[in-house]
Amino acid sequence: MTEEELRALEKEVKKLKRISSEWAAQLHDLVEDRLPAGYEEIPAIAQSTYDACKAWADANKRFNELSAAN
């Protein structure tokens, strides 16, 4: 992997971390502000938060493995 590709992957990891943090904030807001009335929102927000965090974790793992190999 070239240095440029590694930098692009690092940028993607940072982007995915920001997205996962945004979803986590939405989940927090749901808990703090809209429950129990907004209970029907839990599955969708929780799944989106999980998916975003998983995407970040997968990309971060790949980045760490590739940067260690270089």
Mind listing the pLDDT tens digit for each residue in 3-47? 999 999 999 999 999 999 999 999 999 999 999 999 999 999 999
- Spell out the CATH class of 3-68: mainly alpha
**Ranges of each domain in the chain:** 3-68
pLDDT band at 70 (very low <50, low <70, confident <90, very high): confident
pLDDT score at 50: 98
Q: Give the total residue count for the chain.
A: 70
Map residue 34 onto helix, strand or coil: helix
Task: For tokens 């839990």, name the residue.
Answer: 42
